[in-house]
Amino acid sequence: MKLIHKVTRRLAMVVLPVLLLWATVFFFAMVSEVNDETDDSLDDYAEMIVRRVVAGDELPTPGDGSNNTYSIELLPPTEVYRDSKEFDDREVYLFWKKETEPARVLTRIFHDEDGIAYRLVVSTPTFERDDIIRAILIYIAIIYTVLLCTILAVTVVVFKYSMKPLYSLLRWLDGYRPGNGTDGFPNEETVYEFKKLTKAARETIERAENHLERQKQFIGNASHELQTPLAVLGNRIEWMMDNTSLTEEQFTELSKMRQSINRLVRLNRTLLLLSKIDNGHFLDRSNVDIVSIIENELEVYKEIFAEKELVCKVNVPQSFVVHMDEMLATTMVSNLIKNAFVHSPEGDTIEITISQGELSVSNSGDEALDATRLFDRFYTSGKTGSTGLGLALVKSIAGYYNWGVKYSFTGGKHRFAVTFEK
C-alpha cells in the first residue's frame, strides 16, 4: 500500500465523521433557527390581531396576501382564564386553498380592557419553512461533499509536493545496482527529516560501494596470489617430467598431480567469472544469436562425446537473437549442453528446443534431482572432474539478466529451461 493512499484513507476516516457531525449539528441549529423565526412571525401576527381586537380596530381579512389564517372566539365568561401562549404543529384546513396543510399553530388566550377573554388561534402553513429546511439540507450536503473533496485533494497535492525528495530517493534506489556508484544521487534536502534520510541512504550506499570495491580488489588479489603459485607448481612438475629421468610410476603420479592442478586452475577461473557476474561486471551487450552458439557448441560436444553415441534432436528456429554479453551467452549455452552430454547414458537422446522465448535442454535420467540445491555452487552429482559450478553459472547469468531458470523431471527426462524475457 502506498503511503499517499494510507494518509488519504486515514485523513478521510477522521474528516468524514467530523464533517458529518458538524453538518448534522449545523443542520439542526438552522432548523431550530428557522422554527424560531416562524414562531416569532406568528407571534407578531397574533400580537397585531390582539392589539386590534383590544383597540376595536378592523381585523385583517383572511387571504390578504400572507398565508396566515386566524380565528378568534369569545370564551364563556363563566370561567377564569389566564393569558397564555401555546405553539404546536397540526393539520389545518385552509379555506382559500380548500385543503388541509400541515401548519404551525399558535393558540393565545387574552383579555381585552373589559376583561373579556378571547381565544385566538393563528396558523401559518409550514410548506415555506419546509422549503427552506430542504434548501439548507441540500446546500449542507453540497458544501460537505465539496469540502471533503477539497480537503483530500489539497492533502494529496501538498503531500506529493512535500514528499518529492522521498520519491526521488526511492526512484534512485530502484535503479541502483551494486557497483554503480553514487552517480545521480538526489541532492541533500533542506527539510530536516529528508536530510537525515538522504544522508543515511547515501552513507549506506557509499559503505556498500566501498565494501564491494574492497571485495573486488580482494578477489583480484586473491586470484593473483593463487594463480602465481599454481603456475609455479604446474611448471615445476612439468620441468620434472621433461628434464629428469623418472620411472613410469613416478611419471604417472606427477601427471595426476598436474591434472589436479589444472582442475584447480579451472575452478579458480570459474569462481572469478561467477564473482564478476555477481558484481555486474558485464555491461557489454550485443545482439547474440543463440542458435548459432548452439550449433557451434553441439559440434564440439558431439566430437568429445563421440563414443557415447548420443542422438541430438535440435528443434530451433532459423535464428534466435538475444541482447546480451556474447561471452556469457556462450558460457550459459555451453554449460547447459555440456550438462546434458555429461549426464546422459550411452545411446540416449538429447533434445534442444527453443520455443516461445524459452531454451530448453533435456536428457534422460533415473530419478529427479534435488531442484532446491541443483543450482547451488559446488553441488555435484558425484561425477569426477565436475566443478559443481556449471549450473550455478547458468543460474547466475540468467539472474544477471532477470531471466528465469527452471528444472523439471517428467517421464524420465531431466529438463533445464531458460526463459528469456526481451
Partner 1 sequence: MKLLIIEDDNSLREIMHRALTTEGYVVEVAPTYSDACDKIAGYSYDCILLDIMLPDGNGLKLLEQIKALDKNDRVIIISARDSLDDKIEGLDMGADDYLPKPFYMAELSARIKSVMRRGTGSVNKTMNAGNIALDLQSRCVTVEGNAVPLLKKEFDILLYFMQRPNHIIDKAVLAESVWGDHIDMVDNFQFVYAQIKNLRKKLADAGASQNIKAVYGFGYKFTETDL
CA distance 275 to 359: 25
Q: How big, in percent rounded to 5, are the helix, strand and coil portions of the chain?
A: 55, 20, 25
3 state SS of 131: helix
Q: Work out how close the CB of 359 gets to partner 1 at its nearest, in angstroms, rounded to a whole number.
A: 18
User: Which residues of the shown chain bind partner 1 in the complex (CB under 8 A)?
Assistant: 220, 223-232, 234-236, 238-239, 241-243, 248, 251-252, 255, 258-259, 261-263, 265-266, 269, 272, 276, 297, 300-301, 303-307, 327, 334, 338, 342, 383-387, 390
CB 80 within 8 A of CB 69: no
Give the nearer residue to partner 1 in terms of CB position, either 189 or 297.
297
Q: Work out how close the CB of 294 gets to partner 1 at its nearest, in angstroms, rounded to a whole number.
A: 14
Cell matching residue 294? 548452439
CA distance 302 to 309: 8
Give the nearer residue to partner 1 in terms of CB position, either 135 or 311.
311
Q: Work out how close the CB of 331 gets to partner 1 at its nearest, in angstroms, rounded to a whole number.
A: 8
Give the nearer residue to partner 1 in terms of CB position, either 103 or 394.
394
Give the nearer residue to partner 1 in terms of CB position, either 119 or 281.
281
Q: Work out how close the CB of 303 gets to partner 1 at its nearest, in angstroms, rounded to a whole number.
A: 6
CA distance 268 to 230: 10
Q: Work out how close the CB of 300 gets to partner 1 at its nearest, in angstroms, rounded to a whole number.
A: 5
Q: Work out how close the CB of 305 gets to partner 1 at its nearest, in angstroms, rounded to a whole number.
A: 7
CA distances from 131 to 30, 93, 125, 137, 178 (A): 13, 20, 11, 10, 71
CA distances from 232 to 54, 121, 131, 167, 237 (A): 136, 126, 105, 55, 9
Give the nearer residue to partner 1 in terms of CB position, either 100 or 292.
292
Give the nearer residue to partner 1 in terms of CB position, either 335 or 362.
335
Give the nearer residue to partner 1 in terms of CB position, either 202 or 258.
258
Q: Work out how close the CB of 315 gets to partner 1 at its nearest, in angstroms, rounded to a whole number.
A: 23
Q: What is the CA radius of gyration of the chain?
A: 48
CA distance 420 to 397: 11
- CA torsion 308-313-318-322 (nearest 10°) is -70
- CA torsion 294-300-305-306 (nearest 10°) is 110
Give the nearer residue to partner 1 in terms of CB position, either 265 or 321.
265
Q: Work out how close the CB of 270 gets to partner 1 at its nearest, in angstroms, rounded to a whole number.
A: 9
Cell matching residue 400? 544477471
Give the nearer residue to partner 1 in terms of CB position, either 182 or 259.
259
CA distance 304 to 344: 14
Q: Work out how close the CB of 188 gets to partner 1 at its nearest, in angstroms, rounded to a whole number.
A: 34
CB 286 within 8 A of CB 326: yes
